Homo-oligomer: A and B are copies of this chain.
Amino acid sequence: MHTVFSDGEVWPTVRVEEAWRNGLDVFSITDHVEQEYHSYQDDIRIDLNRSFELARTRAEALGLTIIRGAEITRDMPPGHFSAIFLQDVKPLQTSKWRDAVKAAYDQGAFIFWNHPGWIGQQPDGIAKWYDEHTELLEKGWLHGIEVVNQKAYYPEAQQWCLEHKLTMLGNSDAHQPIAMLYDSSSDAHRPMTLVFADNNSEESVKQALLARRTAIYWNNMLFGEDTYLKPVFERSIQILDPKITIIGTGLVYVQILNDSDVSLELVANGQVDEILFPIQITLRAGKTVLLPVRGRSVELSGSKEIKIPYRVNNLRITPLEGLPVELKLNVTFKKAKQ
């Protein structure tokens, strides 16, 4: 995110208050290091560490963790990079991009590629991988990529993260006030990187980021590896009455509570022999919905565990695949009376 200390339009404290209101635990301000992005230098004395310092007090008062960061902003290739967990931003203000990235790396920074398919650098909106990115990767200077930036999703970046073992991130890249960028009267919200860390400390978050323990929440979707999305699904969903009795080809409604903030879009991922179930169903956020199931045969009897196979279309483990899940029911089948 940016402030008046580069080309943003808010004082650093606004970023703290926004983070608190939006429910973030950890955040970073990443003002550009390059002078050409210091839009207000006629009025403001630019100090690259200043936005962090001005924000820190309020962040602490609100119990938030703020991480010192900066953006290295160069032509493509290699494009823009954020470096976080810095000790001092100043050494990054250098003309050659390799020097700037190295300066971050030498401070132990976590470095990620920003908006790889940004229309300002890739007019068709499609991210491209250059030799420079291979170089960064091989040097150990690249730890992650923004799969989501502001209001754009880059499927290529999600794929690269899987292939190259890079961390997936989703960030707002806000220059304006957040509430002007994402209208709170609509469903829009800032992208968030979910970091599966032990706690909110800087060390713990850094460890989790380096270990790629993240998922991205944006636009009623989660993007991440199944290792992380599966428990999210399992702790969000509760089948309120998993023991049901089906008589012949009769209809039974199963109540499913989705206790999360994300409506989950399920599509059938195969069939089962004993029962029919909907091809698609949406488990609305914070609501209980009815899943209608029906017996396939008048002849069935006895009890059985049935696993209904679905994919969750908006929990994306790859750009094209939803997370496979099973809804488990304990069904007692009874023959219908003639």
Contacts and interface: CB of A to CB of B under 8 A. Distances in A.
Interface of A: 4, 8-11, 13-14, 17-18, 21, 40, 43-45, 47, 50, 54, 61-63, 176-177, 179-180, 183-185, 240-241, 252-253, 255, 290
Contact of A14 (B9, B54, B255): B9
Given A63-B241, A252-B61, A9 B9 contact: no
Nearest to A45: B43
Nearest to A42: B45
A9 B10 CA distance: 6
Counting every copy of the chain, the complex holds 4
A180 B183 contact: no
A45 B40 CA distance: 11
Given A4-B11, A43-B44, A18 B61 contact: no
Contacts of A185: 184-185
Contact of A179 (B4, B45, B180, B241): B180
Contacts of A180: 14, 17-18, 21, 177, 179
Contacts of A13: 9
Most chain B CB within a 10 A radius of its CB, from A43, A63, A185: A43
Contacts of A176: 14, 17
30 contacts: A4-B4, A8-B11, A9-B10, A9-B11, A9-B13, A10-B10, A10-B11, A10-B14, A11-B40, A14-B177, A17-B176, A17-B180, A43-B44, A43-B47, A43-B50, A44-B44, A44-B45, A45-B45, A61-B253, A62-B255, A63-B240, A63-B241, A177-B177, A177-B179, A177-B180, A179-B179, A179-B180, A184-B184, A184-B185, A185-B185
Contacts of A14: 9-10, 176-177, 180
Nearest to A21: B180
A269 B151 CA distance: 23
Nearest to A23: B288
Nearest to A182: B179
Contacts of A40: 11
A253 B177 contact: no
Contacts of A255: 62-63
Contacts of A45: 43-45
A139 to B, nearest CB: 36
Nearest to A255: B63
